[in-house]
Amino acid sequence: VQLVQSGAEVKKPGESLKISCKGSGYTFTTYFIAWVRQMPGEGLEWMGIIHPGDSNTRYSPSFQGQVTISADKSSSTAYLQWSSLRASDTAMYYCARHASPRLATVDFDYWGQGTLVTVSS
Amino acid sequence: QSVLTQPPSVSAAPGQKVTISCSGSSSNIGNNYVAWYQQFPGTAPTLLIYDNNKRPSGIPDRFSGSKSGTSATLGITGLQTGDEADYYCGTWDNSLRAGVFGGGTKLTVL
């Protein structure tokens, strides 16, 4: 099982961005994929999840309306996107796979390597 | 402020035991399973404990988890210098209808 994320990004405030997380070694449509933010020197923040099988998506209230999570079954890839970045979006973003089919859980058995997003003018 | 409360730091000597607490409420820990993660600087977290007290394959039995009411505890015995890392608890929150993490605890092995 592997989750491979897209590379680091440097963007300006107001720009849009879409980062990716490609799953392999398992049936991508079977497990939820979550996105987790880690700001510099800070802790983990659960952003939201998607079930690639039916695109059922859930967002943390803190991130609802700020980002969009999507998935493409045909390419076994999940996405996290912003329409207008802010400096406060500067962080490492991880995708992670649910260890079980349950929705209401935070046990992630496989993680991507992380995508560093830097937003600066 | 994190929904789950962890001590910012703990420390102990090599070979000793340490516990890390994670305090929540009935909307999260009290009614859901807890997971624990270990994170070394510059790397992704690793799942240590899931479903309150289960260890994924490959995780040594020096690591243990427990839950009582609205609190959970991670225990590490036989401390090694290689255990120095940040540790996070996480669970689902029924009120937020979202996952939540603790603020993290930095373990120092003196």
Query: Cβ distance B90 to B74 under 8 Å?
Result: no
Whole-number pLDDT of residue A103: 87
Instruction: State whether A107 and B50 contact (CB < 8 Å).
Output: yes
pLDDT in tens, B21-44: 999 999 999 999 999 999 999 999
Q: How far is B79 from chain A (nearest CA, A)?
A: 23
User: What average pLDDT does this structure show over B59-72?
Assistant: 97
Token pair recorded at residue B24: 């929540």
Does B32 contact A at CB distance below 8 Å? yes
Residue A6 half-sphere exposure, CB side, CA atoms within 13 Å? 13
% chain A with pLDDT above 90? 95
Which distant-in-sequence residues (6+ apart) come within 8 Å of B57 by Cβ?
none
Does B36 contact A at CB distance below 8 Å? no
Per-residue confidence at A100, pLDDT binned at 50, 70, 90? confident
Which residues on chain A are in Cβ contact (under 8 Å) with B44? 94, 96, 111-114
Of A44, A96, A99, the CB nearest to B88: A44
Whole-number pLDDT of residue B1: 82
Lowest mean pLDDT among A6-10, A100-104, B16-20: A100-104
Per-residue confidence at A50, pLDDT binned at 50, 70, 90? very high
User: What average pLDDT does this structure show over A2-15?
Assistant: 98
Whole-number pLDDT of residue A102: 86
